[in-house]
Amino acid sequence: MMTYIDIAPMEIAHKKEKTDVIRRQLPLLTVKDLNVHIQEKHILKNINLAIPDKSITCIIGPSGCGKTTLLRSFNRLHDDFKEIKVSGSVLIDGEDIYGKKVEVTHIRKKMGLLAQRPTVLPMSIFDNVAYGPRLYGTRNKRQLYEIVKHQLESVGLWDEVRDRLKSPAIKLSIGQQQRLCLARGLAVEPEIILGDEATSSLDPISSGKIEELFLNLRERYSIVLVTHTLRQAKRIADYVAFMYLGELIEFGSAHEVFNHPKNKLTKEYLEGSFS
């Protein structure tokens, strides 16, 4: 395993692994009859999907097939666009996030989003990570420091920035910024990490680091990634969802989908007949 994560004593890790095998079967996020329209266009058509807990699910498919739209609907980021209509339900821990009584901030706290390009906030490195905990009322300096340190360590950034926590986050390299964004997301203790082509603007080394982080983090989080690169999906996915023209064509374990695709379209896509 990588050194990025603070690995608990072996014994506990071992026990955890066992329970994880069982927990992996349980869906954490369930999508039921999800339809999204943007003005007159039907972007997502009747999506039904159960995303398993503590694993990496990659959403693949050609450009414009609705991958990003699907990911964003998990976080209710469509709320701010009046031309986008969402119907159906998305359940997290059995709670419909589109339910009437649901607080949108409560939903979003459960999910960390990693965007295509790193989106550091205009403040210091420390404040970026501390932003979330501060929102939820952590004011104690010692406590904040511990959280920041812990999360920066878990993304392997601590040693690189420990001496300049006060300097503006924008001065970090792009790869470091993306890891900072991940640390910032983890600091609010989400259950799910959403990544929207989170490595596409990074150089190969930085994106490799992010991939390793994802592999480590799946022990504790459910990770849903939209990816353009099939190779990335093959490297890290436990489960794969293939989408085409707004429909979910196939969903299954990475092994099944990549080696024995059931659908003709999936097969053609994987063979590179279209992209």
**Binding residues for other proteins (CB under 8 A):** 75, 77, 80-82, 105-106, 108-109, 111-113, 115-117, 119, 121-123, 131-132, 135-136, 168, 170, 181, 184-185, 188
First to last CA, the chain: 33
Answer whether 88's CB lies under 8 Å from 33's CB: yes
Instruction: Quote the least distance from Cβ 242 to other proteins, whole Å.
Output: 25
Cα(258)–Cα(238) distance, integer angstroms: 11
Nearer to other proteins, 67 or 240 (CB): 67
Nearer to other proteins, 217 or 254 (CB): 217
Nearer to other proteins, 181 or 254 (CB): 181
Nearer to other proteins, 118 or 246 (CB): 118
Q: Minimal CA–CA distance to 213: which of 163, 157, 161?
A: 157
Q: Minimal CA–CA distance to 249: which of 30, 26, 49?
A: 49
DSSP-derived 3-state class of residue 132: helix
Nearer to other proteins, 14 or 106 (CB): 106
Instruction: Quote the least distance from Cβ 137 to other proteins, whole Å.
Output: 12
Instruction: Quote the least distance from Cβ 155 to other proteins, whole Å.
Output: 15
Q: Minimal CA–CA distance to 152: which of 68, 213, 70?
A: 213
Nearer to other proteins, 112 or 246 (CB): 112
Token readout for 275 is: 């992209």
What is the per-residue DSSP string for 140-203?
-HHHHHHHHHHHHHHTT-HHHHGGGTTSBGGGS-HHHHHHHHHHHHHTT--SEEEEESTTTTS-
Token readout for 236 is: 């890290």
Instruction: Quote the least distance from Cβ 105 to other proteins, whole Å.
Output: 5
Answer whether 223's CB lies under 8 Å from 232's CB: no
Other CB atoms within 10 Å distance of the CB of residue 6: 8
Instruction: Quote the least distance from Cβ 151 to other proteins, whole Å.
Output: 12
Side-chain-side CA neighbours of 195 within 13 Å: the count stands at 34
Instruction: Quote the least distance from Cβ 183 to other proteins, whole Å.
Output: 12
Nearer to other proteins, 189 or 247 (CB): 189
Nearer to other proteins, 46 or 116 (CB): 116
Instruction: Quote the least distance from Cβ 119 to other proteins, whole Å.
Output: 4
Instruction: Quote the least distance from Cβ 152 to other proteins, whole Å.
Output: 16
Q: Minimal CA–CA distance to 148: which of 164, 166, 128, 168?
A: 128
